[in-house]
């Protein structure tokens, strides 16, 4: 009989030992009982369990589960099937009911930076709640109490992401427009981690829920010192201030409006919206606007309009001022528009130009559609329809370390923008000549990020 098989009592068949690789000393087992040769602290016929219920099987024996976010790729979490309804593959620790599962991803581990938030949770097994005087903790659907309370690690995906195969991998983006949050008065545009509603004229609000034509005043809808005034009140004030001789000449059908509102004390111009948001500003040397950093890591859509008569200038920059962190920038260099980004290694630059340059004083609009995706080949249909926009393809060999070999590892593949977003200039030039210019001379208008209008008076 082979050493990696055994024969059960009262059976004529040989069965494989199936010893757990990390918990056993060899692939052979006792040919009568099937017991594998376990490492110190490891138990079970296959050597796949630890005597300590709060430890996990490792190549060197049993190790206590880390508290916090471990940097080792070999980490585990015990999940109670009775509480969470998971698929059971391991027995629970002694004293607990039900089954449990242990999850461990050797390629990814639990320590991917910023891909998700690691939080500490206390898991417990369901116990008989009747006839027991112990204090109980209640959830929305079940009562349970800790038998062996353990602080372990769980990973929570950011909004808009989930895992296709394993929930903690956060490798699948969810289209948050599926529920039609914008209703009948707007168009939903999905973005990373959320959505943006493009409202019809006369509607505003996050979900286009505010009707400016027939609705009522809403707190905060009018910006920058302007006041929300109902159209009925405005019409009444106009009639009361009208000379009696003129008012008597109005037709008898004249009546007050029944709804709607407007923003008063607001400058009326082409560069202000109906809610008194500023669409355009003029920039000169030393002037710039500062906004919170962009949080997008995989994809984003930037749209900006500008007018200038100088051949060089900085439209926007997001990142720190050293040469060790990620950044994006949009510049005008020698009359051409240049978009640059860095994911931690080399800087990539993409340029677009016009025959006579963009420094002619006219308004120009630039749209940057950033999408992080590995393209292994270019479909022929895409080449056919966009042959003028796609350069000749050529093979690229990417060499990654073992830690970066998995397509789920970060390893300088995503944007991590930690500095502020600055528009129209910078207080100082970043190190390493990441950008060519510090200032912008001209006008900037209609800045959109993922279809969302950015108020330049913020």
Single out the residue of 102, 118, 98 nearest to residue 110, CA to CA: 118
Q: Are residues 200 and 316 in the same domain?
A: no
Mean pLDDT score across all residues of the chain: 71
- 378-419 pLDDT, tens per residue? 556 655 555 554 444 444 444 555 555 555 555 566 777 888
Single out the residue of 424, 441, 423, 445 nearest to residue 270, CA to CA: 445
Total Cβ atoms within 10 A of residue 362? 11
Domain-embedded: residue 355: yes
Domain-embedded: residue 407: no
Q: Are residues 118 and 66 in the same domain?
A: yes
Domain-embedded: residue 408: no
Residue ending a domain, among 231, 264, 297, is: 264
- 434-451 pLDDT, tens per residue? 888 899 999 999 999 999
Total domains in the chain come to 3
| 22, burial (CB in 10 Å: exposed 0-12, middle 13-18, buried 19+) | middle
Q: Are residues 131 and 223 in the same domain?
A: no
56: containing domain: 5-172
| CATH number reported for the structural domain that contains residue 358 in this entry | 2.60.120.200
Domain-embedded: residue 409: no
Q: Are residues 322 and 288 in the same domain?
A: yes
Residue ending a domain, among 149, 172, 195, is: 172
Domain-embedded: residue 357: yes
Q: Are residues 198 and 290 in the same domain?
A: no
- 318-373 pLDDT, tens per residue? 988 877 788 899 999 999 999 998 887 778 888 988 999 999 999 999 999 887 65
Q: Are residues 260 and 200 in the same domain?
A: yes
CB burial string 429-456: b at 16+ within 10 A, e below: ebeeebbbbbbbbbbbbbbebbbbebeb
Name, of 243-247, 249-253, 254-258, 302-306, the range with top average pLDDT: 302-306
Domain-embedded: residue 379: no
Check whether 155 has a pLDDT greater than 70.
no
Q: Are residues 222 and 192 in the same domain?
A: yes
Q: Are residues 156 and 12 in the same domain?
A: yes
pLDDT reported for residue 175: 84
């Amino acid at each position: 009989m082979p050493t990696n098989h055994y024969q059960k009592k009262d059976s004529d068949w040989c069965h494989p030992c199936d010893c757990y690789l990390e918990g056993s000393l060899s692939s052979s087992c006792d040919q009568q009982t099937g017991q594998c040769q376990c490492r110190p602290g490891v138990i079970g016929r296959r050597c796949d369990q630890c005597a300590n219920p709060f430890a996990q099987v490792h190549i060197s024996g049993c190790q206590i589960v880390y508290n916090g976010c471990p940097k080792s790729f070999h980490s585990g979490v015990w999940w109670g099937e009775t509480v969470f309804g998971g698929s059971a593959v391991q027995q629970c620790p002694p004293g607990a009911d039900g089954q449990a599962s242990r999850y461990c991803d050797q390629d990814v581990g639990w320590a991917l930076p910023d891909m998700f938030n690691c939080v500490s949770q206390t898991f417990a097994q369901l116990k008989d709640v009747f006839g027991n005087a112990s204090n109980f903790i209640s959830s929305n659907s079940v009562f349970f109490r800790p038998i062996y309370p353990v602080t372990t690690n769980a990973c929570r995906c950011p909004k808009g992401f989930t895992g296709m195969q394993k929930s903690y991998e956060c490798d699948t983006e969810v289209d948050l427009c599926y529920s039609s949050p914008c209703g009948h008065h707007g168009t939903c545009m999905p973005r990373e981690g959320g959505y943006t509603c493009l409202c019809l004229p006369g509607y505003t609000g996050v979900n286009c829920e505010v009707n400016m034509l027939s609705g009522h005043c809403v707190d905060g809808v009018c910006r920058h010192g302007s006041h929300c005034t109902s159209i009925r009140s405005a019409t009444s004030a106009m009639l009361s201030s009208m000379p009696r001789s003129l008012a008597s000449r109005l037709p008898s059908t004249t009546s007050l409006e029944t709804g709607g509102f407007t923003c008063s004390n607001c400058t009326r111009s082409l560069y202000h919206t109906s809610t008194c948001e500023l669409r355009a500003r003029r920039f000169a040397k030393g002037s710039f606007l500062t906004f919170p950093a962009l949080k997008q890591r995989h994809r984003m859509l930037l749209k900006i309009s500008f007018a200038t008569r100088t051949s060089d200038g900085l439209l926007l920059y997001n990142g720190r001022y050293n040469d060790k962190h990620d950044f994006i920038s949009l510049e005008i260099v020698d009359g051409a528009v240049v978009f640059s980004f860095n994911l931690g290694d080399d800087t990539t630059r993409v340029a677009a130009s016009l025959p006579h340059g963009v420094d002619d004083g006219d308004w120009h609009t630039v749209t940057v559609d950033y999408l992080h995706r590995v393209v292994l080949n270019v479909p022929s249909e895409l080449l056919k329809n966009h042959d003028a926009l796609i350069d000749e393809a050529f093979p690229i060999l990417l060499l990654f370390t073992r830690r970066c070999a998995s397509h789920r590892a970060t390893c300088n593949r995503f944007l991590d923008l930690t500095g502020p977003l600055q528009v129209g200039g910078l207080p100082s030039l970043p190190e390493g000549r990441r950008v060519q210019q510090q200032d912008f001379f001209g006008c900037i208008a209609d800045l959109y990020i993922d279809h969302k209008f950015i108020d330049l008076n913020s």
